[in-house]
Structures are given as structure tokens and as C-alpha cells.
Structure 1
Amino acid sequence: MKTTLLIMAAGIGSRFGTGIKQLEPVDDTDHIIMDYSIHDAIEAGFNHVVFIIRKDIEEEFKDVIGDRIASVCSAHDVTVDYVFQDINDIPGTLPEGRTKPWGTGQAVLAAKKVIKTPFIVINADDYYGREGFQAIHEYLMNGGKSCMAGFVLSNTLSDNGGVTRGICKMDENGNLTEIVETKNIVKTADGAEADGVTVDVNSLVSMNMWGLTPGFLDVLEKGFKEFFDKEVPSNPLKAEYLIPVFIGELLEQGKMSVKVLKTNDTWYGMTYHEDVASVKDSFRKMQENGVYKADLFSDL
């Protein structure tokens, strides 16, 4: 069965080069975080890769990332597609003065025409580890409809400042009941806190790693039309259609069930410039410990 890796990369800057965090090499062979995600997804069994980008970065994206990945995918019988997130691709009229993108919900909708299989959706600039890809692929292959990787909060914190995390609430069967967006979570000597309130570091959090089916895209599209009717008029320049928020609404209405699949892997991202050195050090250690080969894709 085909399964798809959907990578949200439309947020990459319009000019490649220094300062674009998604393109910061994280090892000595100039691999970026996206390379590792693609490696882990192919290893888990995903055999279709879809990049969501903007049209204005297509040529540069292919030069820096896409052409190299295309040859890797071709060697492993993995197909590749590109789709484009466009601020004008909306069920209405673009508000005057609007320049802000419409968010992750609209980004995923951009891929509706090319996704015919169960799929996993991830951020381009987050490292998720192997376990989440494997768990979600297995869940989807066994007929599961909707799931998410639940990361242990302590494995997602930064040493360099506060972070925002969606803390998951679940029922006794491990089904998601609510995502509580919690801002400014910082490490402390004995755990973590947010604005002075202790936070359980063993909580599971959402890092925007979802397993979904093509049927969800129909629901997402209908929701986008409702968002445009209800949310955009009151906040035309900044309203965003976000996957976690939309799924939270469906959960609240009893219209969706999402299984939380715990992963013990450490999440890495470059929230702060100071994170770059520690992230690179982490990838160096993973290579030294044999988690990955220096020739990254050679073990597939």
C-alpha cells in the first residue's frame, strides 16, 4: 500500500542562504534536518513524498534540496510531488493588505489533489526521530484513521529559552480529548514551569506530527470555507487556519477520534539561534553512536 510523507516547507525564506533555519546544515556532510526526516520516513515504509512549498522558491528549493532528494527517492522506489501554497488559493476574496500566509490547514489543503493514500504530515524544520514515523506508519497500515505522535515534554524543551507546546489530554484508551496550548515553558532545576506554574515534564505534547487519511482533507476543506465565513471578517489580516486548532474543534464536537502514539525520541528544532550548536552536537553524537551513518541514506 502507498503511504505519503507530507512536508510543510512553504515557510522557508524566499532567498536561500545564511539565516534560513530550515537550511542550516546539522552534520559534517551538509545534511539538513529535512534529510533525516525523509530518511526516517522511507525507512518506516512511506513511499511517496510531497513537498508543500511556495511557487517563488521552487527553483531554489530544487537546487538546494529537491533534486538531491529526488535522486535518493528514485533509488528507493519512492515517488515525489510538489504542491504550492498560495495566499490567493482561498474560498473567497483576499482581504486588502493581507500578506500573512493562511496557516498549516491551508498548506495541507494544497496537497489535496495529489494525496490518495494515508499520510503523515510534518514540519520541514523539526527533527522527530524514527519512532514516531514507525508508529504512525504501522497505525495507518493497520487501518487506523487519525493519530498523532505524542512527545514527552522533557524531550522537546530548549536550553535557551521558553517554548510553546500543545499539551495533550487523553482518555483512558489513549485517545486525544484536548490540546492545551501552553506558552513560555522553561526548564527548571527540577523540571519545567510556565509563567511560574509547574508543568509535568512527562506530559505528552503535540509537535505537529499527524497521521491522517484522504477523507480528512474533505473535512479540512469544508472547515476552511467555514473559517473564511466566520473568522476572517473579524481578523482579515492575521486570522490563521491551523491544523491543531481545527482538530481540537472536531474533537470538542465529537466529530473525530485521534489516537495518541507515544514516542520517546527527542525532538530537535532551532527555535533560538543558540539552539544551532546543541542540535549539531546532538546529530554528531547520533552518528558516533551508530544511530545514523555519515553517508545518511546508505542503510536504506
Structure 2
Amino acid sequence: MKTTKNATLLVLAGGLGSRYKGKKQIDPMGPSGECLMEYSIYDAARAGFTQLVLIINDYFNQETKDHFQQIADNAGIQLDFVVQRLNTKLPIHHEDKLENRVKPWGTGHAILAAKDVIKNPFVVINADDYYNRHAFEKAYELIASDKINEHQYGMVSYPLSATLSENGSVSRGVCTINNGQLVTVVEHTNINKEGDKIICTLDDNSKKELAPETLVSMNFWVLDPSIFNVLERKFDQFLSNLKSEKAEFFIPFVIDEMVHEEGLKVVVETSKDKWFGVTYPEDKQLAINSIQELVSNGVYPSALW
């Protein structure tokens, strides 16, 4: 008999999408007007997830909220909205840091914002990425088999070559993995193709080549609620050491520190499935074509709901 467990899907949909120049999280791309994250919600619900948490910004109007509430009702899962603002979960003694801040604090802060509504093991994904249903099945199996706890988290990785944009640079968490366990994950914020090579430009403007098969994190994490107390502590440290108004509190930084400082183990599942996402406006047509191909191949119905 298949074990069932309560599991939550946390979707990071509160970014400003500055490079996309629009509301990419809810931009229609499917044949019946679906946005990318609807395919993730569909896949997660079918895999066994019982709760959906959407991290949103103030641009999500009531009509959009109603749309996702109807989706959750159709999928038979609980839905919670969490608005990520600059002062969400911000320690009082760091309120001075808000003075010149414009953009959100990053993925670590977005996850921390959900602390009050998540009580189960949970998966974190980006709203503007397509991960494929097998990623959710693998993640749910980790949760259902009790492999996710305060001492061991999980992630689904992808080959770097499958995650690039033809239209500009991307940020990726470059992973080192040994015997199915994460050794390091280092955020690289400026990766692009130069001819037939994949090049990362570092903070000092030096460049290094990355192998196409390098495994990267696409922010598909399988986490235990114990992460929230760690995030609170690390967010406080991040703000105390803030050196730039544009600095971001990235979840890969936190996970990497937990692995090295606290002995956290992270089980890595590797996906060879199709991944795509939208970072730039020019990425949209590729996403539309990719979804249509999946529909044509019978992976999804032409109307999800």
C-alpha cells in the first residue's frame, strides 16, 4: 500500500521580474491560458501534495487570487497566500535597512515569509520554471518515505546545459555531489553561453568555464519546517553584515552553510527531464512551444482545469 503524507508545495511567485519586464509568474503560456506554475501545481497535486502556499507580492489582485483559489479547489488541495514585503519577518533592530531597499530580499527571505503557514515537509519551486512531473514524484517519495527531517533535506538537480537561456545570463546554484549527497552548492549569478562554451563571470569580472553536465540547483528544494528557525537566524546575520543595497539572501547560501557548519545532509535526485523557464521576454515563445509539445504528446490535457 502506498504511504501518504501531508506535503506542501511552496511556490515563489513574489519576484518583480525586472528582466522579464512584466508579471511573468502569471503570464498565460498554456493553450488554455495557463501560466507556468499551474503545470507545477497540477503535477504536485497528482503526486500527492496536500497544501499549496503561494508567496506573492502586492501586484497579485483579487481576480488573480480567485483564479488560484479555484485551481486549488479543483485540485483538492489547501491554498494559503503569503505576501512578501520588504519588512516581512524583518527583525526590528534592522528596520534601518529598509531606507534604500527597493527589491525583495531574495529566495531565503521568501521562504521565511511562509513560516506561519507551513507545518509539513515541503517543496520549494520558482513560479517561472517548469520542472516536469517526475521531479514532484521523486520529491513526494522522499517525504512519504520519511527521508526529510531536521537532519536531512533533499533537492532535485538538473544538468546546467539544460537550464540556460539563449537570451541572456542566468543565475544557478552550482552543485558538487558525492554518493547522492550534496557536498557544496555555490550561487553563480552571471552564467551564459559564449559560442559553444558555458561561461560564468565572477564578481571580480574574471571568467571560468563550466562543463555542460555540471549539476545545478533550480531552487527545487525538499525541506523540513526546521529550516525556518535557521532562516531567521541566518537572515539576521545577513542583515548585520549587509554590504550592498542590492545584496540578496539566497537559499543555496543557507543550505551550503548548514551542510558545512551543522552537518546537514541533502539527498540529491537528478532529473534528466525537460526543464524550461522564463527569465527574459524572448523566453516566452520557447515556453509556449514546449508546453504545446507536452500537450501534443499527451503529457497534459489541453486545459488543465
TM-score normalised per structure 2: 0.86
C-alpha spacing 1:51/1:175, structure 2 compared with 1 (3 Å): same
C-alpha spacing 1:137/1:225, structure 2 compared with 1 (3 Å): same
Code of the residue aligned with 1:86 in structure 2: it is: R
**Superposition RMSD in Å:** 2.1
Deviation at 1:131, TM superposition (A): 1.4
The 5 Å alignment of 1:118-267 reads 118-145=121-148, 146-171=153-178, 173-182=179-188, 183-186=190-193, 188-189=195-196, 192-194=198-200, 197-229=208-240, 231-232=241-242, 234-235=243-244, 237-267=245-275
Unaligned segments of structure 2, at least 5 residues: 202-206
**Which residue of structure 2 aligns with residue 67 of structure 1?**
66
In structure 2, the residue corresponding to 1:290 is in which secondary structure? Answer: coil
**Which residue of structure 2 aligns with residue 8 of structure 1?**
12
Unaligned segments of structure 1, at least 5 residues: none
Aligned residues: 285
CA contact (8 A) 2:187 2:252 kept: no
In structure 1, the residue corresponding to 2:125 is in which secondary structure? Answer: strand
CA contact (8 A) 2:156 2:271 kept: yes
In structure 1, the residue corresponding to 2:44 is in which secondary structure? Answer: helix
1:19 pairs with 2:25: no
1:275 pairs with 2:283: yes
Deviation at 1:125, TM superposition (A): 1.1
**Which residue of structure 1 aligns with residue 79 of structure 2?**
80
CA distance in 2, matches of 1:102, 1:164: 16
Deviation at 1:198, TM superposition (A): 4.3
C-alpha spacing 1:187/1:153, structure 2 compared with 1 (3 Å): farther
Code of the residue aligned with 2:8 in structure 1: it is: T
**Which residue of structure 1 aligns with residue 204 of structure 2?**
none
Moved more, 43-52 or 249-258: 249-258
CA contact (8 A) 1:21 1:270 kept: yes
CA distance in 2, matches of 1:127, 1:187: 24
In structure 2, the residue corresponding to 1:111 is in which secondary structure? Answer: coil
1:287 pairs with 2:295: yes
CA distance in 2, matches of 1:72, 1:88: 29
Deviation at 1:45, TM superposition (A): 0.8
**Which residue of structure 1 aligns with residue 96 of structure 2?**
94
**Which residue of structure 1 aligns with residue 43 of structure 2?**
40
Code of the residue aligned with 1:78 in structure 2: it is: I
CA contact (8 A) 1:151 1:262 kept: yes
In structure 2, the residue corresponding to 1:154 is in which secondary structure? Answer: helix
C-alpha spacing 1:26/1:257, structure 2 compared with 1 (3 Å): same
**Which residue of structure 2 aligns with residue 50 of structure 1?**
53
Moved more, 24-33 or 162-171: 162-171
Code of the residue aligned with 1:83 in structure 2: it is: V
Deviation at 1:86, TM superposition (A): 2.0
Deviation at 1:252, TM superposition (A): 2.2
- After TM superposition, the runs of 4+ consecutive aligned structure 1 residues lying more than 6 A away are none
C-alpha deviations, 1:189-246, integer Å up to 9, x for none? Answer: 4x644467543222211001100011111111122222223x23x33x2332211111
CA distance in 2, matches of 1:193, 1:108: 29
CA distance in 2, matches of 1:82, 1:181: 28
CA distance in 2, matches of 1:31, 1:154: 26
C-alpha deviations, 1:89-124, integer Å up to 9, x for none? Answer: 311223222223211111111111111100001111
CA distance in 2, matches of 1:165, 1:228: 23
